């Protein structure tokens, strides 16, 4: 019987998950210690600002105003998703590098936001893109490093699935 963390499966890709978690938590620490909540800290460009907001819901603040039960709901979902993805990663050959990377990014992002929910009861978001003119303003919901990792990992899995082959770059 081979070890769960053998040289033959994708377990070494968990280092990508760890990298995502560390970058996510370091950036959130920086934001929390330097920008008051619900304020714009830095206007980087005419369409992008670094802000500090709390998200008690899921993506796009889904269920944020539901009274608190959603925290435990989203924590449970994150744990289940991470467990399923870890199982998949440990059963995936290390030769399927893009699949292993994609799964690891989703795990790292989910765990990064799970840490926030456990410690603070909310997720810290800070990247804000928007369109602003004299008569129009639209802001895309703020997000963080963990959200980027989840979206990139999920997007990569979709691309691999649609192409029907492991390596989306090779023809």
Q: Which residue has the higher pLDDT, 48 or 68?
A: 48
- What pLDDT is recorded for position 66? 54
Q: Is residue 4 part of a domain?
A: no
- β-partners of residue 131 are 138
Catalytic residues: 125, 147
Q: Is residue 5 part of a domain?
A: no
Q: Is residue 52 part of a domain?
A: yes
Average pLDDT of span 78-95: 93
Q: Is residue 53 part of a domain?
A: yes
Enter the pTM of the model.
0.85
Q: Which residue has the higher pLDDT, 39 or 74?
A: 39
Q: Is residue 114 part of a domain?
A: yes
> Predicted confidence band at 1 (pLDDT cuts at 50, 70, 90)?
very low
* Cα angle 38, 44, 46; round to 5: 95
CA distance 147 to 132: 24
Q: Does pLDDT of 7 surpass 90?
A: no
CA distance 147 to 76: 17
- β-partners of residue 91 are none
Q: Which residue has the higher pLDDT, 12 or 25?
A: 25
Are the C-beta atoms of residues 138 and 131 closer than 8 Å to each other? yes
Count of the separate structural domains present in the chain: 1
Percent with pLDDT over 90 in the chain = 65
Are the C-beta atoms of residues 141 and 62 closer than 8 Å to each other? no
- What pLDDT is recorded for position 99? 95
Q: Does pLDDT of 64 surpass 60?
A: no
Average pLDDT of span 88-105: 93
> Predicted confidence band at 3 (pLDDT cuts at 50, 70, 90)?
low
Domain range holding 147?
10-32+42-163
Q: Is residue 62 part of a domain?
A: yes
- What pLDDT is recorded for position 9? 77
Q: Is residue 106 part of a domain?
A: yes
Q: Is residue 168 part of a domain?
A: no
Q: Give me the chain's average pLDDT, please.
A: 87
């Amino acid at each position: 019987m081979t070890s769960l963390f053998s040289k033959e499966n994708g377990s070494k890709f968990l280092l990508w998950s760890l990298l995502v978690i560390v970058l996510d938590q370091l950036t959130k620490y920086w934001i929390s210690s330097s920008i008051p909540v619900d304020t714009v800290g830095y206007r980087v460009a005419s369409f992008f600002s670094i802000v500090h907001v709390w998200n008690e819901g899921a993506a796009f603040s889904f269920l944020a105003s539901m009274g608190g039960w959603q925290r435990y709901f989203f924590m449970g979902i994150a744990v289940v998703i991470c467990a399923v993805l870890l199982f998949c990663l440990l059963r995936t050959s290390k030769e399927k590098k893009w699949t292993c990377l994609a799964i690891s990014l989703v795990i790292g992002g989910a765990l990064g936001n799970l840490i926030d929910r456990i410690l603070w009861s909310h997720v810290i978001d800070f990247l804000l893109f928007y369109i602003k003119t004299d008569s129009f303003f639209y802001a895309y919901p703020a997000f963080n490093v963990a959200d980027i990792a989840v979206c990139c990992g999920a997007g990569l899995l979709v691309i691999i699935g649609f192409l029907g082959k492991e390596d989306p770059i090779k023809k």
